[in-house]
Chains A and B, each alone.
Chain A
Amino acid sequence: MFGFGQETAEKMNQLKSVTNPRSPSEALETAPVRPAVTPGSAGTASGEISRSVRFLTGKGRSGPLLPPFESVIGRDERVRIVDTDLAPWRMICSLQMRGPSGSGAIGTGWLVGPRTVLTAGHCVFSTSFFGGWAATIDVIPGRNGAGPPAESEPFGRVTGTRFSSVDRWQSDEDPDFDIGCIHLDEPIGETVGWFPLGVRTAEQLEGFQVNVSGYPGDRGNGTAQFHGRNRIAQVTDRRVFYEVDTFGGQSGAPVWIYEDDDTTRPLAVAVHAYGTGGTPASLGITANSAPRITPEVLTLITAWVAQDGGWPGH
C-alpha cells in the first residue's frame, strides 16, 4: 500500500526501538499512525538564505547522472560548505563518539526535532567500534573547521548519553536497518532548526537528485562539512543507492531532496551509512547507500522525537 514492496509491507509495525541502558525509556512499540512528512524548522538563528544552497545543491529531477564514484575514488566532487551558520547546513552536526573503553570515532548527525539528532545506527551502537553502545557523543551543529571553538563551533557543542536504535540493527547489524538517534537535554534544534522527514516510494524517488553533506575524515580531519550530490541510481525496499562521493566520518549524514527546482525546503529521505562496499553485488552498480525513511522507520523516529518532548504544536 505504500509502494515499498511485499517484504516491507509484511514487516509494517514490526520494528521496535531499543535504547542504551542510560536512557530512561524502554522499547517503544511502533504506533500505527504514519504521517507522510514530519514538520521541519529553519530555527531561530539567521534566516539568511545560504548561497551554497542555490549554487551547490541538486534540486528536483533535473540534471544528468554524473560519472560514478566509489567512496572516494577518481575525481572528488565534494565541495566544502563555508556558510555552516546558515540553514540547512547548521542542522548538520559533527559527531565525536567515545566508546566505553575510551575509543574514539567520528560521524555525522542531523537535527530532526528540537532535542533529537538522527544518525546511523552504528554511530550509537556497534559491535566493531564500541563493543556495543557508545558511551558519550559530542554533537557540534554547523561545525566549520579546526579553529578556535568560538569561530569553528558557531552553535557550541552538547554531549549526549542517551541513544536509541532499531531492534533489527542491534540484533543483526543489518545495513538495511542502520538507523539510530541521540536524545539531547538541550533544545539546540530551536536555534539551528531541523530537517523535515518524508516517506517517499521508490517510484516517487526515481530520478531525483539527492544531496549528502557531512564530516568526512579525509578532508579537514572530520571538522569541516563537505557536500556532494547526484541523481539517485537505484532504490530498494529498504535503501536508496546513489553515486555521491563520501568517506568515513560521513556516516549518519542526511540524504535529502528538493521536490522542485524553486524550493529551498529540504526533505530528508534517508540516512547515509555505507560506501560502495555496502552495496549488494546483485544490484550490479557501484554506489553508496542509505537506509530509507520508510513508513515504519518514520513512526519510530516520531516516537523518538516525542520521547524528547515532541515537535512544537504537534
Chain B
Amino acid sequence: MARPLTPPTQRAGRVVDTSGRPVPYAIVVIVSGSVPMPEIALRTDADGRFGLRLPPGIFTLRAHGPDGSGDTAVEAGTAGDEIVITITPQTVAEGE
C-alpha cells in the first residue's frame, strides 16, 4: 500500500461543457483507479483548468459542475495529452 516506486507524472486537465467552453470552479474527483486514491476533490480555476500527478495506472476522473457531470478514463504512467472532461447536463450518476 506504500507509495509506488515509479514517480507520478504531472498531468494537466480541463473541464468543459458540451460546447467546449471552460467550466470554472468545477469539482474534479478520482472516482476509481488501479491504486488507492484518497477522497479529496480538486477545484478548477477560473479557466476550468486543474493539474495533478498520477502514479502509473488507470483512473476514472469525474467532474461536477452546476449543470451536470461527466467522466473520463485516464491512463497514467507517462506524460500524456491534456485530460479533458466534458460535463453533460443531467448525467448525474444514479442515486446522486
Contacts and interface: CB of A to CB of B under 8 A. Distances in A.
Given A73-B95, A174-B1, A249 B27 contact: yes
A274 B27 contact: no
B51 A175 contact: no
Interface in A271-299: 272-275, 277-278, 280, 288
A211 interface: no
Given A172-B3, A218-B27, A71 B51 contact: no
Contact of B42 (A129, A272, A277): A129
Interface of A is mostly: loop
B38 A273 contact: yes
A29 B8 CA distance: 30
B47 to A, nearest CB: 12
Contact of B37 (A123, A219, A246, A278): A278
Contacts of A46: none
Interface in B59-81: 62, 64, 66, 69
Instruction: Determine which residue in A175, A176, A248, A250 has the highest number of CB atoms from chain B within 10 A of its CB, and name it.
Output: A248
A300 B50 CA distance: 33
A110 to B, nearest CB: 15
Contact of B27 (A221, A246, A273, A277): A221
A62 to B, nearest CB: 26
A152 interface: no
A248 B93 contact: no
A112 B22 CA distance: 39
B32 interface: yes
Interface residues of B, number: 35
Interface in A206-232: 216-219, 221-222
Interface in A96-116: 96, 101-107
Sorting the interface of chain A by its residue count into under 10, 10 to 19, 20 to 34 or 35 or more gives 35 or more
Contact of A74 (B3, B43, B44, B95): B95
Given A105-B43, A175-B36, A274-B39, A76 B27 contact: no
Contact of B64 (A74, A75, A221): A221
B45 A104 contact: yes
Interface of A: 71-76, 96, 101-107, 120, 122-123, 126-129, 131, 171-176, 178, 216-219, 221-222, 246-251, 272-275, 277-278, 280, 288
Closest 4 CB pairs of A and B: A248-B29, A217-B27, A217-B41, A248-B41
14 contacts: A101-B51, A106-B27, A106-B40, A107-B41, A120-B38, A120-B40, A126-B38, A128-B54, A173-B3, A174-B1, A222-B43, A250-B39, A251-B38, A280-B1
